[in-house]
Amino acid sequence: MKPYRIAVLPGDGIGPEIVREAVKVLGVVAERTGVRFDLHEGLVGGGAYDRFGTPLPDETMQLALASDAVLLGAVGGPKWESLDYSVRPERGLLGLRSGLGLYANLRPVVVFEDLIDASPLKPDVVRGIDLMIVRELLGDAYFGKPRGVRIENGLRIGINTMVYTEEEIRRIAKTAFDLAQTRRKKLLSVDKANVLEMTELWRDVVTEVGRDYPEVELRHMYVDNCAMQLIRNPGQFDVIVTTNMFGDILSDEASMLTGSLGMIPSASLGAKTAMYEPSHGSAPDIAGKGIANPLATILSVAMMLRHSFDRTAEADQIEKAVRMVLKEGFRTEDISQAGARIVGTTEMGDLVVERLRAFSG
Ligand code: IPM
Ligand code: MG
């Protein structure tokens, strides 16, 4: 069988540490299945800027385009915060998203039973939570024009534009409905249709697409209400579909149901090459200390196996191995709790690898 080609882009901060662990897990999958993964490393983000003066060198974009999937760590850090917007590390990430045509960002929020106490919310509120945020990734104020800060009548004025075309809404709505159909068949679309015309169009188009999915129960909610409901009663949600900006905010909020942003993987889908990355950032404050939680990145590899390589069994096994390690009481610092056995990044990766190796078949 032809090997899968994977672009590995560790990025900045804790990126290289956590990606190393995820790559180890891929290695075990290769051992166990005979599937070959050809890994090619590339630079993105602040590190790429330091070396080439751009956060997304051509070479990296070409590497990504020529790959079957991209595994990304994280980008950014204080060192690059005063750079011009056009060359900030974040532009590297946004450039990859748009260059690869990745319009659908899937962020699963799953509360692991053994981590219930890590959540700042009451156990009864978060127990059993299993929801999926489908965030549109290529539109909205992130890419809308006009944009920028300029001088008008001697005063500075800052502008960003929230914009969506009907087609952009339709394709993400389809992704969300398709996904809901494989789950509990409940879809919530989040907008601000009481104030923003653009999201009124969003609501209309999502409703239209819904006519093709009679089995899926569709609801609409304003984003402010959704932010509140995610804390009050997150159990009501199955799949949530929303705009780029609202999805950015709501997914960070929802991650706290699980106790740590360090537990949320993500998949960005759209065209041929999908990208997989933890939902958290580069955590410069703990970079290099060997204490970062690699589980979101390891779980991102599971998403890669499921969505890009159709390897559901192996994806399930990785998730199971993670559950086992947590059940045995191992924790990185971000999810530590009384009585836990605190381990570092490498140890956590090793534990998952060991459990995975122990599965038969
Ligand atoms: C995310 C991040 C990015 C975003 C940043 C780093 C550009 O917050 O993936 O959620 O805003 O999309
Ligand atoms: Mg974000």
Active site (annotated) includes residue 224: yes
Active site (annotated) includes residue 192: yes
Q: Per residue in 238-259, pLDDT tens?
A: 999 999 999 999 999 999 999 8
Which atom of ligand 1 lies nearest, measured to the CA of 137? 12
Q: Per residue in 95-104, pLDDT tens?
A: 999 999 999 9
Pick from 84, 99, 189: nearest CA to 138: 99
pLDDT of residue 13: 98
- The pair of structure tokens assigned to 344 is 């570092």
Tell me how far the alpha carbon of residue 339 lies from the centroid of ligand 2, in angstroms.
Answer: 31
Q: Per residue in 261-315, pLDDT tens?
A: 889 999 999 999 999 999 889 999 999 999 999 999 999 999 999 999 999 999 9
pLDDT of residue 361: 60
Q: Per residue in 320-359, pLDDT tens?
A: 999 999 999 999 999 988 889 999 999 999 999 999 999 9
220-230: average pLDDT: 98
pLDDT of residue 206: 98
Q: Per residue in 120-169, pLDDT tens?
A: 999 999 999 999 999 999 999 999 999 999 999 999 999 999 999 999 99
| Coil vs helix vs strand at 280 | coil
Q: Report, in angstroms and rounded to the nearest whole number, the Rg of the chain calculated over CA atoms.
A: 20
pLDDT of residue 90: 96
pLDDT of residue 358: 95
Identified catalytic residue from 140, 191, 192, 238: 192
pLDDT of residue 260: 83
Tell me how far the alpha carbon of residue 127 lies from the centroid of ligand 1, in angstroms.
Answer: 27
Q: Per residue in 172-188, pLDDT tens?
A: 999 999 999 999 999 99
Neighbours of 169 (CB within 10 A): 25
Per-residue confidence band for 37, with pLDDT thresholds at 50, 70 and 90: very high
> Which residue's CA is minimally distant from atom 10 of ligand 1?
248
Peptide bond into 123 cis (omega under 30): no
Active site (annotated) includes residue 24: no
Sheet holding 239-242, edge to edge: 37-41, 4-11, 69-74, 274-276, 267-269, 104-110, 130-136, 239-242, 186-191, 217-222
**CA distance linking residue 258 with residue 126, whole number of Å:** 8
pLDDT of residue 262: 86
Tell me how far the alpha carbon of residue 36 lies from the centroid of ligand 2, in angstroms.
Answer: 32
Residue 88 CB-density burial (10 A; 0-12 exposed, 13-18 middle, 19+ buried): buried
Pairing of strands 274-276, 155-159: unpaired
> Which residue's CA is minimally distant from atom 5 of ligand 1?
90
